[in-house]
Amino acid sequence: MPHFARPAAGFLFLSSLLMASVVLAGQPESASAPPSPRRQTVLIPSTDYEVVVVPRHQSRRGAPPTAALLGAIVVWLSRNFPLPENHDYPQIRMASAAAINTFRHTGLLSDKPPDRARVPPGQRAVVAVYDKSTKTILLPMDWNGRTAAQLSVLVHEMVHHLQHLATIQYDCPQSSEALAYAAQAKWLALFGRDLMHEFQLDGFTLLVTTQCSY
């Protein structure tokens, strides 16, 4: 779980026919990525909250995000992007990677082999997904918000939640991803990270996957 100090002073996206939004799984961090510090404390702009992140190998067992973290993300998003400051938080559910990917393609939150067999072969795995029908973010069991990358996944899905609450209309599901990835990239930059090193997402891939296919 992200550690919050006392208030300070002062994933290629492929559109889902199930109306779910996802973050794609990344590849292992490349050798050219900037070295991660042992411990990093960042005051989230526009909020009074400090978040502490650690290198991936020091990340602890999974734990869902706190209401304080969700609130800080909502405020930060509303100050930096055309999104409402709506504190109607989504439900958070932890699920296995297999269950998340099965849900992405079938709408079934299941990791049973018969259900997993319905996932189209050759699909790149997804990290997290937002279910609009239940206003629920599905996060992997090992998510704990202790790394910048994990936090950015939550930021990405919170964008989709706020888009849904605001009933923002888009030409196609892919176009809603442009804002989600922009927010994820800006969040990662707070920690000196980027989408390329954390998720192997380059500019061309983002351009292609955030535009309508027609």
Task: Supply the pLDDT for residue 118.
Answer: 73
Task: Supply the pLDDT for residue 22.
Answer: 54
For the residues 197-202, what does the mean pLDDT come to? 90
Task: Supply the pLDDT for residue 29.
Answer: 41
Contacts from 118-125 at CB under 8 Å and sequence distance 24+?
123/14, 124/12, 124/24, 124/25, 125/24, 125/25, 125/97, 125/101
For the residues 137-147, what does the mean pLDDT come to? 94
CA separation for the pair 188, 44 (Å, rounded) = 11
Task: Supply the pLDDT for residue 74.
Answer: 98
Task: Supply the pLDDT for residue 123.
Answer: 65
CA separation for the pair 99, 101 (Å, rounded) = 5
Q: Is the pLDDT of residue 133 over 70?
A: yes
By C-alpha distance, which of 153, 6, 140, 161 is closest to 63? 140
For the residues 162-189, what does the mean pLDDT come to? 93
What percentage of residues in the chain have a pLDDT greater than 90?
Answer: 50
Q: Which two structure tokens, joined as six digits, stand for 34?
A: 């900037």
Q: Is the pLDDT of residue 179 over 80?
A: yes
Task: Supply the pLDDT for residue 205.
Answer: 80
Task: Supply the pLDDT for residue 122.
Answer: 64
Task: Supply the pLDDT for residue 19.
Answer: 40
Mean pLDDT score across all residues of the chain:
81
For the residues 153-160, what does the mean pLDDT come to? 97
Task: Supply the pLDDT for residue 61.
Answer: 78
Write out pLDDT tens, residues 19-56.
445 565 544 344 444 544 578 999 999 999 999 998 87
Write out pLDDT tens, residues 63-109.
999 999 999 999 999 999 999 999 999 999 999 988 888 887 788 88
**pLDDT confidence band for 121 (50 / 70 / 90):** confident
Q: For the packed helices 177-190 and 148-165, what is the interaxial angle rounded to 10 degrees?
A: 140
